[in-house]
Amino acid sequence: MPKKALLVIDVDHACGWRVKDIRSNSSKRLVARNIKAQLANWRARNGLIVFVVYGRDATGQEAQVNGRKQENCVVCDRNDSARLAKFLEHRHGNTHELAFVKKDTDAFTNQNLAEYLKKKSVTEVVLAGCQTFSCVRTTAQGAAEAGFNITLLRDLVFAPFDKHYDTEERWLDLIRATIQMNSNSKLSVKIE
C-alpha cells in the first residue's frame, strides 16, 4: 500500500484566503470548506499533512522541535499578507504538522520537502490548494521529477476547472508530459 502525504499549497492570506475574501467568493468558500473537511479526515486517520507557503526566505522545514511550537512558525507567524489561513487550524504541540516555504511556484524547489517525504516513505502526494494552473501544477511537476505519484483532489483546488479557464484533461496532460520527459513510466497522475 503506497504511503501518501497531503500537501496543502498556498492557502494563505497572500493568495486571498482571509475570512473576508472567502466570504466574498462563493467558489473559494466551497473549496475552503472542502479543504477543512479533508484535513479533519486526514487528522482522524493520523495521515501525513504538509503545508506549503511562498516566501523568499525558503530555508527548510518549520521551526518546531520536540513537538512544541517555537517562536516564528514559518506559516503561522509570518507577516499578515503571507500568513497561513486560520481555518486550516495548523497544529502545533505533540501533533504538529510540518510546513515548508517555497521560493518559486514549485514547492519542490525547497529540496527539504522531497527529502522529508522520502524519509517518511511517502510514494504519493495528494495535492490541494491554489493556484490550480500555476503553483499546484508546477508542484505536481516537481513531485513527478522527484519520483512521487500524484493525485489532485478536484474539489480542493482553486481556481476551479471550467470551460473558460482550463480543463482537468489539460492539467493531466501537462503533468504526464513532465513524467514522460523524466522517462519514469512507473509514476502515475490522477484527479479524484
DSSP letters spanning 97-129: --EEEESSSSGGGSHHHHHHHHHTT--EEEEEE
Q: Evaluate if residue 1 carries a pLDDT over 70.
A: no
Q: Nearest CA to 12 among 104, 78, 60?
A: 78
Burial class (CB in 10 A: 0-12, 13-18, 19+), 81: exposed
pTM for this entry: 0.87
In this predicted structure, what is the pLDDT of residue 126?
97
Q: Domains, the chain, ranges and CATH?
A: 4-191 (3.40.50.850)
Q: pLDDT, tens digit, for every residue of 12-33?
A: 888 888 888 888 888 899 999 9
Whether a cis peptide bond, with omega within 30° of 0, leads into 44 is no
